[in-house]
Every structure is written in C-alpha cells, then in structure tokens.
Structure 1
Amino acid sequence: MEELQMYRNEISELGFSIIENIYSPCEIEKIIGCIDQAALSNRETFRKSSDLFAIRQFLKEVPSVQPLVFNNKLKEIIQELFGKDYFVVKSIYFDKPETSNWYVSYHQDLTISVDKKIDREDFGPWTTKQNQFAVQPPINILKSNFTIRIHLDETDENNGALKVIEKSHLKGIYRPETIDWAIETEKVCKVAKGGIMIMKPLTLHGSNRTTNKQRRRVIHIEFSNAKLPEGLNWSEKLNISIA
C-alpha cells in the first residue's frame, strides 16, 4: 500500500508514474500472440506503414487480448489509484519498428473519442479520424482522466520512449510553442518490458525517432469516470470487472 501511495503522489504531483513488473514474460508473449494473429487481417482501424503499425479501438478489434491486459495486478492498480468507477474510453496499439523515423512532437492529449457530433458550447473543436469523432471536452473531464501505457518491449531514449515535462498537467492548456525551457524539466520515461506508465492527459509529452534498431510496442489505454451530456456517448466504452 505504501508503494501505491507513492505512485499516486507521483501522478498527482508530476503528472506521470512508472510501475515495473505488471506482466510476466509469459503474459507478454500471450498478448503479442493475440496481436500478431489479428495483424494478419486488414481492417479500417489498422494503420500500416514502414514507420508505424497502429490498431485503433484496439480492445474492440482484438477482444481476445482483454483478459490478458486486465490481469489482477493492473485491476488492483486501477482500483487503488483511481477507483472502481473508472472505465475504458479509448485504446490504441502502437508498434514502432526497428528502423522507424516516426517521432511525435510535444503535445497534450486534449480530445476524447465519442460516437457522434453534437452542437454544444463547451465541447469543441471537433475532428474525425478513421470514421471516429474526437472532441475537446471541458477541462474538468481531462483533469479526471488518466492513461495507462503497457510496454511490450524494453523502451528507452533510443527507441522512442516518451519524454514528458514534469508538472505540466497542473498548468491547464499548455501550448508547446510556449514552453519555457529555462524553468521546465524534461524527463525521459524508460520503461522495462512488462512495465506500465501512467499519465495524466494534460501532461506535455512526445517521443523521438528510433536510433538503436530496437522495436517499441505499446498498448495505450485511456480511462474516465465522467458522464457525458445527454445525446453524447463514449465511442469505445468498456467496463472493467474489478472483483
């Protein structure tokens, strides 16, 4: 329980935390097996290029992976750090190959995925990607949400580990072009295979190109406990059974 309190404090104060040894090597291999089987098909939610393979709506597209991802360790962490009322609202699988030149500049995760577009003053702007609606919600929803990134490979600064700006989640909407490097602290989040990174969506984050010819596979899952206004629903809501 003391360790969990430490992680809770880190997430609250820094905007992120890293927890090792959530999945055994055997569990990781089973998860990868499910993904490799699904990757044999070609679906609308799959994105394949020389720099990146991604599966949007991952937990829906690869349902066999759900009991493996939500093992007892992860469910305990979700319950103890956030509460039983949280549910999945978005999931993506990223595979950055060994020779990838893919990089992501600093940004905050400011949108949520919903089932339709409605006119509301407090929701917007709107975008559409692969027939999925995304919208920037009121900031109180973003403040209560959190993301878990499950690492299927060893990840460091040489193969695209996330770099974050500590405490940036406490500054509301923070435009990357206004970052003052004289006062901000950048942290490269090295995560071992089988570990997870938990992050608040308002934490500024990005990643560099791969330079060591090492693969980086990550499952990105976003959680919320927010009730959306009438007429609007989460496009990928999935309840977690936490016994």
Structure 2
Amino acid sequence: MFRRARAELAENGFTILPGVFDNATVQCLINTIDQASIDSSNARATAHLFAIRNLLQEVPSLARLLWTSPINHLLDAVTGEGTNCIRAVYFDKPAGSNWVVPWHQDLHISVDRQESVSQWINWNHRHGPWSVQPSADYLESIYTIRIHLDDCDASNGALKVIPASHKLGILPEATIRALDKSQATICTVPKGGVLIMQPLLVHASGKSVSQAHRRVIHLELTDRSLPNGLQWREFLSRSANSVQSQLTTS
C-alpha cells in the first residue's frame, strides 16, 4: 500500500489512504478540538467556516493523539523518516456553507522573522506571523497531510485537484485560470482517511450542499531546515517526547 502511495504522490501529486484512523480515535480528535477556546486570535468562527490556526499550540493535547504508530508509520514510509510538522490548521466547513476556494497552489510558509534570501519573495506579516513564498525547491520538499474527521465527497466541499499539475512548478494566476479543468479529480476521502498532497498541486474546493460537516486537520511536513538562521514558526517534531518538550517550553 505504501509503495503505491509513494508512486501516486510522485506521479499525480496526491494519494488517498483510507482507514488510517479508526472511529474511536477520530471521535477523540473531534472531542479534543471541540474543547478548544474560540476566543483565541488563532480561531475564526463564522456561519460558513470554523478554523483554528497554529493548531498544535492551541490544543497541545492533540499532538499525542496524532503522532501514534499508525500515522507515524505511514508518514515514515510515504514522506520520509525525517519529516516533521511545520504547520497545523483545523478547518470545519459546516452544513450548507458557501465557502468556496478557487483554483490555486499553496505557495507560502510561516517563519519567525524576515531575512534576505535569494528567490524568496512576497514577505508579509499583516496578520501577525511572517509568511513568505520560498523558492520552488522548498515548496517541493513539503507534504500536506489532510486527516478527514468526516466522510468527504463533492456534496460537502471535497478538495478538487488537477493530477500531475505539481510538476509544472510555480504558476502565475493567469496560467492556473487557463489550465484544463476537465480532468480534475474530486478527492473523495472516508472518515478516518488521509489525503497526502504536494503544495504545488493545483487544487480548489466547492461549497457544501449537504447537511454534513467537513472537518479536516491540515498538517504540513518537511525534512528541510531553513536558510540564514530562519526558523519554522510552528515546528513540532513527530517524536512524542520532543513534542511534549517543545510544547511545554514554548
């Protein structure tokens, strides 16, 4: 299974693995997130979206539920033993949400400060943390892990992707708009399943037309360090002991 997943990820830019988390673990994840405060500046709650940024700092107990043998074994095999978490976000697209995400690539990373780095552009800290668009080689080293806490299909806003578009590099918006969308794939993922994708894969999502939630834990992993002394703003090791140490000292 993992050999197939690695091959799909390399060729198509994404792979879907069902049944990674059982129903009991999924419910524990949901219960733990539901206990988080929505008063934090990292939480956003509207009629059409609920989101928590910097998730593993906002909900520290979540780390030990996530970094268990099943997911660590999967990630070691598919993304590599040296990959660690550099970003964590929780999204809920509630029933009937009109939240639509247009076709795009994920081009920004979150770091601790601004530095002069060749080919790194679009530095921004309007919303607090520094974000930047790094060079393509850094983006190519990142894996996005989407853990689905609900069954997800076209009716409740599943991700749509253009297979193999990650091979095209960083694309201007006009080029993305002009891409042939007729071969787009809807990423149907069952509850407890995991979608792994490359950030440069062109993707989008539609509005929800069902009464079902679409709750997703979005993680980004890499094995890369940053140049010029920069630090990943949300770095957390997948080692349980390291996670606990960093969370309690941060």
TM above 0.5: yes
Is residue 165–residue 186 contact of structure 1 (8 Å, CA) maintained in 2? Answer: yes
User: CA 1:184/1:127 → structure 2, altered by over 3 Å: closer, same or farther?
Assistant: farther
- How big is the alpha-carbon RMSD for the aligned residues of Structure 1 and Structure 2? 1.7
Residues 134-153 of structure 1: pairs in structure 2 closer than 5 A? 134-153=131-150
Separation of aligned partners in 2, 1:27 and 1:123: 39
Q: What amino acid sits opposite 1:230 in the alignment?
A: N
User: CA 1:181/1:126 → structure 2, altered by over 3 Å: closer, same or farther?
Assistant: closer
Q: What amino acid sits opposite 2:13 in the alignment?
A: G
Q: 1:130 Cα deviation (Å)? A: 3.4
- Which residue does 2:211 correspond to in 1? 213
Q: 1:230 Cα deviation (Å)? A: 2.1
- Which residue does 1:241 correspond to in 2? 239
Name whichever of 172-181 and 139-148 sits farther off.
172-181
SS at match of 1:209: coil
SS at match of 2:201: coil
Separation of aligned partners in 2, 1:129 and 1:148: 26
TM-score (norm 2): 0.92
CA deviations on 1:98-140 (whole Å, 9 max, x unpaired) are 0211010011011111011122332111122531111011111
Residues 71-110 of structure 1: pairs in structure 2 closer than 5 A? 71-110=68-107
Is residue 79–residue 242 contact of structure 1 (8 Å, CA) maintained in 2? Answer: no
- Which residue does 1:31 correspond to in 2? 29
User: CA 1:234/1:162 → structure 2, altered by over 3 Å: closer, same or farther?
Assistant: same
Is residue 44–residue 130 contact of structure 1 (8 Å, CA) maintained in 2? Answer: no
Separation of aligned partners in 2, 1:96 and 1:212: 11
Q: What amino acid sits opposite 1:177 in the alignment?
A: A
- Which residue does 1:15 correspond to in 2? 13
- Which residue does 1:163 correspond to in 2? 160
Separation of aligned partners in 1, 2:159 and 2:180: 21
SS at match of 1:59: helix
Instruction: Return 5+ residue gaps in structure 2 as ranges.
Output: 242-250
Is residue 168–residue 174 contact of structure 1 (8 Å, CA) maintained in 2? Answer: no
Separation of aligned partners in 2, 1:212 and 1:121: 46
Separation of aligned partners in 2, 1:192 and 1:42: 31
Among all aligned residue pairs of Structure 1 and Structure 2, give the percentage whose two residues are the same amino acid: 39
Separation of aligned partners in 2, 1:216 and 1:72: 25
SS at match of 1:10: helix
Instruction: Return 5+ residue gaps in structure 1 as ranges.
Output: none
Separation of aligned partners in 1, 2:139 and 2:182: 22
Equivalenced residue count is 240
* Residue 62, structure 1, aligned to residue 59, structure 2: yes
Separation of aligned partners in 2, 1:97 and 1:188: 19
Separation of aligned partners in 1, 2:180 and 2:201: 18
Separation of aligned partners in 1, 2:233 and 2:196: 22
TM-score (norm 1): 0.94
Q: What amino acid sits opposite 1:89 in the alignment?
A: I
Structure 1 residue corresponding to 2:40, chosen from 40, 43, 51: 43
Separation of aligned partners in 1, 2:4 and 2:187: 17
Separation of aligned partners in 1, 2:13 and 2:188: 15
Q: 1:26 Cα deviation (Å)? A: 0.6
Q: 1:184 Cα deviation (Å)? A: 6.2
